[in-house]
Structures are given as C-alpha cells and as structure tokens.
Structure 1
Amino acid sequence: MTEPSPPAGTPLTADPAPAGPGDRPPPVRFAYDAHTWKEIAHLLVNLPVSMVGFTYTVTMLFAGAGLTVTVIGLPLLAAGLLGARLLGRLERARARRLLGVRVEEPSPLPHGAGGFWPGLWLALRDPVGWRTVLYELIRLPWGVLTFTVALTGLFVLWPVLPFVARALTNVDRAMVRGLLSPSDELERRIAELESDRGVVVDTAAADLRRIERDLHDGAQARLVNLAMGLGLAKEKLLEDPDAAATMVEEAHGEVKLALQELRDLARGIHPAVLTDRGLDAALSSVASRCTVPVKVTADLDERPAAAIEGIAYFTVSELLQNVSKHSGARSASVDVWQSEGRLFLQVWDDGRGGASLEGGSGMRGLADRLGAVDGLFVVDSPEGGPTTVTAELPWRDRSGVLAPQARTAKGASARGRR
C-alpha cells in the first residue's frame, strides 16, 4: 500500500532535522535541574566516547586504505563504513537520551543490490557512513574541549555553568543534526533507484536470454528441419514425384508451425494489438486465452505511455497465466483504472488462494519489476481464496510526462474496486 501523499508542492529536499516542540530544551536558568545535569553528563562523556570513535575511524581508514592494493582492502573499508553507521546510531541514541535531539534513522543500505561488486560499491559510496566518519574525526578535539570546560566548570564556573553547558551542547545538537541525520528524502530515493537499476538490468538480460532460447529451440530448429526437408524433396522430385510431394506437404506444415511460434514470440515481446488498439483490447485478448472465464473492465480516458502500457500488459498476462495453471478458479476478473496520477491494475480470482511473494516465486519477480519503475505490487491471497492482486504504476502520458500528482509522492493507495 502506498504512503499518504504529501501536500502538493512539498519539496523532496526538506530540512533533515526539523525541530519539533519536544526537540528544544527548556530555557536555561541559574539552576541545576534535570536538563542541566543531562547536558553536563553529555559533555563529560564526550571525551571517552569520542576517543573510542576516533580510534575506530582512524584505524578503519588507514587499514582499508593501506590494503587497497590487496583483495581485502576495499571490502575492509566497506565493512568499516558499515561499522561507522553503527557508531552513528549509538551517538543518535545518546543525543536523544541526554540532549532531547530526535533525529530519524537513515535508511539502511538496500540488500542484494546486483551482487557482490555492486553491493560493495554502494557501501563504499554510502553518504551516511562517510558523514559519520567526518563526525567522529572532528569529535575528538571537541570532546577534549567540552570535557575540560565541564569538569573545571563544576569547581570554578558553578553559578554560570548551566549557561556554558547549554552553549556547548547546542554545538553538539547542531553536529548531530548536520552530520548524523538523513540528509534528505532525495538520498533515500537515490539508494532505492540504484537498487532498482540493478533489477531492471537483470530483468532485461533475462528477457534477452529467454528470447534467444525460444528462437534457438523453437522457430530456428523448425526452419532448419524445413530446409533439410525441402532439400530432400528437391532430390526426389524427378525420380519419385509422389514422395517429393509428401515431403513438400510436411515442409508446409513445418512452415505453419514456425510462423505460429514466431507470432507467439512476437506477442511475448510486444503484441501488435497493444500497439494498435491499446490496453483494453490487449487485455481482452489475453483474457480470451485464459482457461478460466475472465471479465475485463478498463476505465481509462486516455492511453498511458508505451512503456507503462507494456508493463501493465505483461503483468496482467503473467497473473492470468498463474490463474490458468495454479489457482483452480472458476472465474476471474481484471480491472484497470487511473486515479491520482497512478495506473491501477487488479486481478481477482475465486481459486484456492495461498499465493505469496515468498520463495522466489513469479509473484516476487513481478513485484521487483514494478518496484524498479516506482510501482507497487500487493497480494491478498488467504488459504481457500479468493486471491486479489493489485498493482500500481506511475501514470505517464504518451509524451512521457509524469502525472502531476505522482511527482511528489505515490498517489492513491492500492485499494480494491470490488
């Protein structure tokens, strides 16, 4: 399901650490209340904590950089940056507990980002890890200063120590917000899109391999047999015209089968009916080949972009294949509609249910493909049925322009229409 859309015009790059009412300490006074003692404790703890962070960071940097000429240098540096993320989490927790600074946790690095090397490269370019490294490097001199001032202030600056502690901890608050908070929503989107790009590349490569395999095992093999058959018929044409005629007739049958396989392959790449008549007619054609009666309803005032139209077509096509092969359903339906800058698809059947995204199923592949284009894929399939699969895609018109409602956030939720 999609998250609620932000108000129209909300920028993607917002203040990374907006200060809410609970994020600001109470006004400082000539008194030692709980907030003042927490701030003093934070200043005193700065030195030992910063020493640990500085030592880890310097060791990690020198070890990783010094071993870059070996096979373990870059993985070691990447592991060090992941450890720096953990240090940042601990520092955010300390600031939250002692200073009242509420900072959101950065998004985790995406898993399985195209294999080992792409994942390693993503970890090495992690902006959260590098900002934490910078934070730990500048914390040691600051920790020495704040520890010294706080400790001596307990015996020398006692009357004004609350004001001094507030001034020093305000610097700490600024450093935590500036270096340990998520930079902005754009950073999250970049990480997601980098992961999605790997999915798109892998999917395209798999499709090319499938087309090559289908051509090699299907139409190409039949055309080879056809050439051989016609060659034999040519040799027998004069000495045994009847046998030659029989062989030509068999070759004619091979031609028909090869043409049918080529048509099926072309339909699997991009069906002509989709290009000529649009999504409604193409989905009706797919539904007519399903072994289960399917009702198709399309409520579209205009056609989306060809790429979005193609993804929608193949998503519904694969879902209806699952209905035919696995559902045991007696009836099914397909609904397509546009709402709030999104294209919605819903496939329903009254079969046995139990479909899920787990275990590397075809459903998981569909979810990954839609996610790669900023889409969503929701499966509701309890044991015993029925099964409802809802998919969302961003609406782009035929000129490729993204719908206004979809520019700021994902639009309406994947709500059903049944």
Structure 2
Amino acid sequence: MVRGPPVADACHGGKGRGERRSRQRRRQGMAAPGRTDDETMDTAYAPRLRGSRMPVGLRAPFSGRTWREFLYLFLSVPMSVLMFTYAITVLALGTGLLVTTLGIPVLAGGLAGSRALGGLERARARALLGLEVAAPEPPRASRPGLMGWVGAVLKSGASWRHVVYSLLHLPWAIFSFVFSLTLWTVGWALLAYPLWRWTFPAYLDQPGALMWGDGHGHGVYLDTPTEIGFTSGFGLLLVLAGPWVIHGLTQVDRVMVHGLLGPSLLATRVSQLESDRGVVVDTAAADLRRIERDLHDGAQARLVALAMDLGLAKEKLAEDPEAAAKMVDEAHGEVKTALRELRDLARGIHPAILTDRGLGPALSALSARCTVPVTVTVDLDRRPAAAIEGIAYFTASELLQNVSKHARATSATLDVWTNADRLMVLVADNGQGGAHTESGTGLAGLAERLDAVDGLLIVDSPSGGPTCITAELPWRG
C-alpha cells in the first residue's frame, strides 16, 4: 500500500468517509438512469433572463413551462374526445361484427388506429411536457400475410394499452382542464378585483361583489379597503398556487403516457439487455484484438528473433565458440525480456494475485505501479463474484492510468467498499480536473462497459480539480 494525502476527503469538503459515501449515494440517485423530464419546480421555473432576482414562486405564473403545461391540459380535451370516440366506435363495430368474418380484421384495424393516435399523444407530450417516451414494440407476426398481421396486432399488449388509455384519459382530461381553468381564472379575477370593482356601482348599482344576500336588498358586499385587500391577497395565493397545481395535474398525464403509450417494462428490459450484450461483445472483441496485437508485436516478434539468434549461435559453435557464447548470452537476456512481456500481458488479462488473494492485495499491487502516490483503502467483508471483481479491478486500473497520464496530480486515493448490494470504487486525485464522459473519451467507454453489467459511473471533476470518480457495480456475490 502506497500512502499519500487524503485527496478523497478534499473532494468532499474534508468530511469523513461515511459522509462521502452518503453523498455518493445521493449523487447516484440524481444520476439514476431512466428518469423523465420531471425536474423540480425550482428548476422548472428557473428564470430565463440572466441576473433575475425575482423569487421562484413569483416567476412561476409567467414561466413558459407553466403555459405549455396549461396548453397541454387545454388540448387534452379535444384530443381525448377524439380518442375516446374512436375507441368506443371501433370496439363496438369490431365486437358487433365478430359473428361474421369481418369482425376480427376490423378490430385489428381499430387497434392499429389507436396506436397511431397514441403516436400523436407521445408527440404532444414531447412538445409540451418535455416527456420523451419511446414508441412501443411493433407487432411481430408469427406468419406472413394479412392474417399473421391481424393476429400479431390482437395479441399485442401495447395495442390494448392504447385502447385503455383512450378510455381512461377522457374523464381525467375534462377534470384536469376544468379544475385548472377554474382555479386560475378565479385567482386572476380576485387578484385584479381592485381594478374592476368600479363596474358594480357603475352598472349594477351595488357597492361591490355580492358575497351573500337575502333577496330583499340586504347582503354582504366586498367594498371596504380591508375586504378588497383580502380578496386581492387571496387571489394572489390562487395565482401562485396555479402553476404547482397544473404541474401536479400533468404529472398524472406523464404517468399515463409513459405507462400506457410507451413500451412495456419487459420490452424495455429486453432492449436494454440487447444493447448491453452488444457492448459486451464489442468490448470482448476489442480486448482480443489488443491481446493479439500485443502478442504479435511483442512476445512473438521477440521469440522469432530469439530463434534466429540461437540458430546463428548453433552455426558458430564449432568455428567460433566465443562468439557463439556471446550470442547465447544475448539470447538469454531476450528470453528474460520475453518472459516479462508475457507476464505483463497475462496480468493485463487477469492478474493471478486477484484470483488468489482478492481485490485488496491486487489493488495495492496496482497502485504501487502508479506514477502518483496512492492511498488504498479496501473495506470488504467478503469477495464479490469473480466477474464483478475483475471489472472492479480493471476499472480501478484504467482510472489510475488516467491519473498518471492526464491529471497532473501529486497524490490520489482509491477506496473500495460495499453499499447495500452494490460494490463502490472511488478514485480521487488533487489534479487539474476537467474529466468528462463525453463521446470519444476513455471514460465514455468505461461508462458503457459498466452500464453493460448494470453499473454506473459518476464523474465529479470541476475545472481546476479535485477529481472524484465513482464506479458502482452490482455485488452478485
């Protein structure tokens, strides 16, 4: 183990390891994959103009996002009426024709139309709510021809989910639009009450808005300064609450669009596994090419030269023993070099110390070869699965290589611990920072390889440093 200053603590404000782990867990939650565009309201209603100091709550009624969400609720009414009418019509028509040979094709065509309308709904949610929902998996016919397509559409769960969305969304669309319109209209009307109160004495011959009356000219009117101020203040509260209520209503729409108009959880998982399998295959192929290149350019070429030198030494053995002995001595040195290259190559494939003694000793040996002093701390009460252990080792190896080559650091730390059912690897340095996972970088490839095994790479590297990179892997012990 190579000791150095506690750089990881500096990355996190000098706090202890427990605090560092909790912060990493919070960062994990923030970076969790699969999130939709459901930012907090502070972010949603952030000011567009640089330097604005208006509180977030006062900006919300004028935010573009608020009006886009309100427009979404407004357009939901005619769109849901169209989808509901279409779904009821095709279901009734298809069911009624089931006694004939036309019923099944008509029902399948109706389901296909519902999928098309669902595509319009996803586009509307993407444009106005910022919600990215992929199209569901297309129907897969088990046999060619029209009847194969009809059977695939009828057996597709996504097709029936579109119909369910059409039936359920209409009552919700009517409620959400009417509620939000009433809330905001009343709020703005009450807020502006001091501006239009003059209409009551001018045209209705009463001092203000009537709150209660007995029908005989007696009643309670909003006409005193206190009552007018209270009315306007209550309207302001409704206006400020309107964006939050609208955002909450559209959250239900987000859930419905994502759950009923998007791909199923099983299809999403299958697609993710197919993508991960491609990454694994590409990574394995790249590793094989690297090993082949290292063998061809290194040990193999050295062994070929060694064989030629030994052949020449054999020819000179009888006529010039001294020259032959010198050539054999040189060949002996070449053998040592070739053995060292093969040993390094084998260590790059899978180091023996990792198999025999585990992550702690293997990472200590790895850090000893780093050009920067490294403090290694491994807190594991048992060993994870061999595959995860190997990935953790090579992740740490690549991160330490980046520290040596690019960080311009004077010290680094390497921490390994468990967090519930996850294996955490944290590499930190006091270098220049600026590391990122943009496409084309080594960290981008590392992030893809970790994602292939349901892992996660979190990079915290502001310009000027320090850099903290956390790799999270499933335990699978």
Band of TM-score, shorter chain? 0.5 to 0.7
Q: TM-score, normalised by structure 2?
A: 0.52
Q: CA RMSD in A?
A: 4.1
Q: Offset of 1:134 from its aligned partner?
A: 7.5
Q: Which residue of 1 aligns with 2:342?
A: 262
Q: CA deviation at 1:302?
A: 0.4
- 1:378 equivalent in structure 2: 458
Q: Aligned to 1:327, which of 404, 407, 411? A: 407
What is the DSSP-based 3-state SS (H/G/I as helix, E as strand, rest coil) of the residue aligned with 1:338?
A: strand
Q: Judging changes above 3 Å, is the alpha-carbon distance between structure 1 residues 193 and 223 closer, same or farther for their aligned structure 2 residues?
A: same
Q: 1:90 aligns with which of 115, 120, 126?
A: 120
Q: Distance in 2 between matches of 1:44 and 1:243?
A: 94
2:396 aligned counterpart, secondary structure:
helix
Counterpart CA distance in 1 for 2:449 and 2:476 is: 17
The structural deviation recorded for 1:93 is 7.4
Higher helix share: 2
Contact 1:356 1:379 in 2 (8 A): yes
| 1:15-414 matches, cutoff 5 A | 38=77, 42-43=81-82, 46=85, 87-91=117-121, 106-107=133-134, 180-182=260-262, 184-397=264-477
Q: Deviations over 1:330-381 (max 9, x none)?
A: 0000000011100000000000111111131110111011000000001111
Distance 1:273 1:310 in 2: 11
Are the structure 2 counterparts of residues 215 and 384 from structure 1 closer, same or farther at C-alpha, using a change threshold of 3 Å? Answer: same
Question: Aligned partners of 2:391 and 2:297: how far apart in 1?
Answer: 26
Contact 2:83-2:114 within 8 A present in 1 as well: no
Cα 1:233–1:340, aligned 2, differ >3 Å: closer, same or farther?
same
- Contact 1:89/1:105, CA 8 A, preserved across alignment: no
Matched residues in 1 for 2:368 and 2:345: separation? 18
Amino acid at match of 2:320: D
Q: TM-score, normalised by structure 1?
A: 0.59
How far, CA to CA, are the matches of 1:390 and 1:106 in structure 2? 29
SS at match of 2:343: helix
Mapped contact 1:84–1:132 kept (Cα < 8 A): no
CA distance in 2, matches of 1:367, 1:239: 62
Mapped partners of 2:258, 2:405: distance in 1: 55
CA separation in 2, counterparts of 1:207 and 1:84? Answer: 47
- CA distance in 2 between counterparts of 1:310 and 1:221 reads 29
How many residues in Structure 1 have an aligned counterpart in Structure 2? 280
Q: Is the 8 A contact 1:92 1:180 kept in 2?
A: no
One-letter amino acid of the counterpart of residue 42, structure 1: V
CA contact (8 A) 1:107 1:188 kept: no
Q: Please give the alpha-carbon distance, in whole angstroms, between the structure 1 residues aligned to 2:439 and 2:258.
A: 41
Structure with max Cα Rg: 2
Q: Identity, % of aligned pairs?
A: 62
Q: Please give the alpha-carbon distance, in whole angstroms, between the structure 2 residues aligned to 1:215 and 1:382.
A: 39
Structure 2 unaligned residues grouped into runs of 5+: 1-26, 31-72, 91-111, 138-151, 168-252
Q: Structure 2 counterpart of 1:90, which letter?
A: L
Q: Contact 1:295/1:334 (CA < 8 Å) preserved in 2?
A: yes
SS in 2 for 1:334: strand
**Structure 1 spans left out of the alignment, 5+ residues:** 5-33, 52-80, 97-101, 111-125, 144-172, 398-418
For the residues of structure 1 that align with 2:158 and 2:465, how far apart are their CA atoms? 49
Secondary structure of the residue aligned to 2:462 is coil
- CA drift at 1:191: 1.8
CA distance in 1, matches of 2:275, 2:300: 36
Note the C-alpha offset of 1:88. 2.1
- Distance of 1:279 and 1:109 partners within structure 2: 43
Distance in 1 between residues matched to 2:271 and 2:83, nearest whole Å:
37
Give the conservation status (yes or no) of the 8 Å contact 2:136–2:262. no
Deviations 1:123-157 (A, max 9, x none): xxx99xx7667789x99xx99xxxxxxxxxxxxxx
How far is the alpha carbon of 1:195 from its aligned partner?
Answer: 0.8
Q: Read off the aligned partner of 2:472 and give its amino acid letter.
A: E
Paired residue secondary structure (2:426): strand
Partners of 2:280 and 2:361 lie apart in 1 by 27
How far did residue 396 of structure 1 move?
Answer: 1.3
1:202 Cα shift? Answer: 0.3
- Confirm or deny: 8 A CA contact 2:412 2:429 kept in the other structure: yes
Structure 2 counterpart of 1:322, one-letter code: N
Equivalent position SS for 1:291: coil
Counterpart of 2:432, as a letter, is R
Q: For residue 118 of structure 2, what is the amino acid of its counterpart? A: G
Kept after mapping to 2: 8 A contact 1:353/1:386: yes
Tell me the CA shift for residue 105 of structure 1: 6.2
Contact 1:352–1:384 (CA under 8 A) maintained in structure 2: yes
